[in-house]
Structure 1
Amino acid sequence: MKLVFYSLVLNHHQACLADEFYKILGDDYIFVETAKCIEKKGSTEDYSQRPYLISSWKSKQEYEKAMFLALNAEVCVFGGHEALPFEKVRMKKGLLSFDMGERMLKRGWLNLLSPRILKMVLAYHFGGWSKKPLYKLCCSAFAASDQYKLKMFEGKCYKWGYFTEVNELEDETHNFMRLDEPFYLMWCSRFIDWKHPEMAVELAKRLQVDGYNFKLNMYGTGVMKSTTMKLIKDFGLADSVHLKGVVPNEQIQQAMSRHDIFLFTSDKKEGWGAVANEAMSNKCCLVGSDEIGAVPYLVKEGFNGMVFKSKSTDALYQQVKYLLDHPAERIMMAEQGYLDMVNLWNPKNAAECLLTLIKDIQNDQETSIHVGPCSKA
């Protein structure tokens, strides 16, 4: 079976899954980059020499290869606006395909003013795609409901996401086993408004007032970094809160393994949030906002992590306070989060699940997968 993925860029959020498909399918797997993108999101690895990669933006010849595959491959997966030209020609032939993406209505109906989203909606409805063998891979727990609001992909939505590397960990190398103080908290993202770095600092102030012994390390940079530094100074948190700047993704994951709790404070503008995968994969107990795309898929409240109401510092404080007051429970949640990554939300399992879903569809039956990637959304 020839399987072709069309997506914006091959980076560390995509390459682990792509490598697994290549292990299974060999040369019958192709990844098509649809645009030149210099943003690596902290990764230092060069993926340009992967044997399965076609960069359609590089030359007319590469573009024509990608278009030929769209017209002839057995199954194609399309992600992002830049893949729409390939998706349109394939849909004219009515060939088995998947549209892959995060939620469309992050800002509500206002998103329909976006030319990119509007083009997709119009192509779907005026191209008669509802009657074609086209299915949705939802890279957000909110993607399916957005599609249904737009009268798209009704009954054809499946859970999907981003699948980062999951390594086998040695318990003795991880601080998560500690029951003693100080507790180490971690925040990692761009310092921008919808990532809410101020919530982490406000949380730290409340913890300090209540007498908790902790360290908060914040990684990243952005337009809100200076205001965050001022907030730390104004709150008298210089000894407890440290800004670590931008470091490579490999070092971020090492840092996660040395922290007890990961604070994921983004609001609904966070489409997926791969740091959730990475924190859980490194046994760093995740405390995530309920509006982040990955959180409802990955986190079972009180079992493998904690969830708080988006933009509520009080709700965030209550969840973190519980974990600090119950270190044994925190350790069990961190361990369970890691096991869920190892057994379910990892690149190898995701690749196998999609191939199973494809066979189920080809055999005209419901998905045989009931939990995790490719289960019904």
Structure 2
Amino acid sequence: MERQIVVTFVSNYINHHQLPFCLAMNDMENVEFHFVQTSPMEQKRLEMGWGVDTKDYPFVTLFYEEEEKARELILDSDVTILGWSDGVIADIEKTRLSSGKLTFRVSERIYREGQWKFISPKGLMRKYQEHIKYRKKPVYLLCAGAYVASDFELINSYPGKKYKWGYFPQRQAESSFTKSEIIGPLDTINICWAGRLIDLKHPEFAIEAARRLRDKNYSFHMDIIGDGDKREELSGLIDRYALGGLVSLRGAMKPVEVVSYMEKADVFLFTSNYLEGWGAVVNEAMQSGCAVVASFEAGAVPFLIMDEINGLTYNSGSFERFFDKVLYLFENRDKIREFGNRAKDTICSRWNAESGAREFVRFAREYLDGKEPQPSPEGPMSIAPILTPPGFFRTLQEKNRLE
């Protein structure tokens, strides 16, 4: 019988993105799981519906209320996962990382705005203290995004110890709404876009695509969900293009409400640029059976979507390339259900909280049992490839212009 191991996950706060993995870990046999929350959630996140009542989950310890217990969990657990804590527990982290005990860091990109920034002497000194000095310790990197490994490779950290990771959506209950298997030539195609209405997410791409689809006499309806600085601009575009009957700005919604729109959508548009660290709406749309058209620049996409197999991707941030992919689905409607079904299978069979927990615990046990831990063949805990970010050359050009 396997011995019980104690695993503690530390992060700023527990939210709907992290909760499914935590619940899956808590259900693992012979695992005592804890989550240490280092800070209260910000009011704006609470208003977005991100709040989790920690009293409902006995495995959660609040660092700011039970500091001594939290400290012991972080330092003494068999396995500790260090997520985002905004420096609140920096000294405790250093002690754990230096201890020789099995530790994982979860990270999004550290050079999201341009890899040229890694040459900064001040930045390199900080990265040395946070990451490089532990390169020979049993500290592994969980890469929450496809370009994370590339960033850390630049600073020579976590050699041979970078693994695919990400966010895992809540398993959706069976919906009473069933998508038809066949979309006929006269059927209306439902399109969904969801996210903050800000520059890096390019919501204007969705509206411009709607204008062109309308001009080609395609039957569709588009729901744009979210709020942000670009809302007034987008509303103006809808009016200017006379798209009022075809495009609806739905405003901000709670995560469960967003998913209800995804479940009714045939196509989901994800237009974020290279500044998007992950993009959990991609997981959710895929699990909802949508055919996703997604920017290859965003962190989740290279891990989750194989172009023309379980979705469509475009590379350069170009609207024209994006629209070519959208148009392909309208011209080849049989692909909408084909891609949607494969997308759902990708999430349900591989990129989900249960799979992530299972592979994580397997990997950790192999190490604790004195074996060389083996990567998973695919999905979470598989080797993270070194992928050059698509935005690299553009940000380098921007740097040169500034100089």
Same fold (TM over 0.5): yes
Q: Quote how far apart the aligned CAs of 1:234 are.
A: 1.4
Q: 1:115 & 1:344 partners in 2: Cα distance?
A: 40
Structure 2 counterpart SS, 1:237: coil
Tell me: CA distance 1:26–1:51, structure 2 relative to 1, closer, same or farther (3 Å).
farther
**Which residue is equivalent to 2:27?**
23
Deviations 1:50-96 (Å, cap 9, x if unpaired)? 11001112x3xx12212112221111000124354332111222211
Kindly report structure 1 stretches of 4+ aligned residues shifted beyond 6 Å: 113-118
Q: Quote how far apart the aligned CAs of 1:252 are.
A: 0.9
**Which residue is equivalent to 1:146?**
151
Q: Quote how far apart the aligned CAs of 1:118 are.
A: 6.5
1:218 aligns with 2:242: no
Tell me: CA distance 1:370–1:41, structure 2 relative to 1, closer, same or farther (3 Å).
farther
**Which residue is equivalent to 1:105?**
111
Structure 2 counterpart SS, 1:11: coil
Please say if residues 16 and 50 of structure 2, whose CA atoms lie closer than 8 Å, have aligned partners that are also in contact.
Answer: no
Deviations 1:119-144 (Å, cap 9, x if unpaired)? 4443323xx30111000000001111
1:342 aligns with 2:352: no
Structure 2 counterpart SS, 1:4: strand
**Which residue is equivalent to 1:295?**
301
**Which residue is equivalent to 1:96?**
102
Q: Quote how far apart the aligned CAs of 1:158 are.
A: 0.4
Structure 1 counterpart SS, 2:336: helix
Deviations 1:24-53 (Å, cap 9, x if unpaired)? 157711001122213147436633111100
Q: 1:146 & 1:350 partners in 2: Cα distance?
A: 23
TM-score (norm: length of structure 2): 0.87
Q: How does 1:218-367 map to 2 (within 5 A)?
A: 218-362=224-368, 363-367=370-374
**Which residue is equivalent to 1:179?**
183
Please say if residues 186 and 217 of structure 1, whose CA atoms lie closer than 8 Å, have aligned partners that are also in contact.
Answer: yes
Match of 2:170 among 165, 170, 192: 165
Q: 2:154 & 2:26 partners in 1: Cα distance?
A: 36
1:52 aligns with 2:56: no
Q: Quote how far apart the aligned CAs of 1:325 are.
A: 1.4
Number of aligned positions between the proteins = 371
Match of 1:374 among 378, 381, 386: 381
**Which residue is equivalent to 1:79?**
83
Please say if residues 182 and 334 of structure 2, whose CA atoms lie closer than 8 Å, have aligned partners that are also in contact.
Answer: no
Please say if residues 105 and 141 of structure 2, whose CA atoms lie closer than 8 Å, have aligned partners that are also in contact.
Answer: yes
Please say if residues 266 and 310 of structure 1, whose CA atoms lie closer than 8 Å, have aligned partners that are also in contact.
Answer: no
Tell me: CA distance 1:117–1:267, structure 2 relative to 1, closer, same or farther (3 Å).
farther
**Which residue is equivalent to 2:129?**
122
AA matched with 1:73: S
Q: Which moved more, 1:208-217 or 1:342-351?
A: 208-217
Residue ranges of structure 1 left out of the alignment (5+ in a row): none
AA matched with 2:130: A
Tell me: CA distance 1:27–1:361, structure 2 relative to 1, closer, same or farther (3 Å).
closer
Residue ranges of structure 2 left out of the alignment (5+ in a row): 385-403
Please say if residues 222 and 247 of structure 2, whose CA atoms lie closer than 8 Å, have aligned partners that are also in contact.
Answer: yes
Structure 1 counterpart SS, 2:292: strand
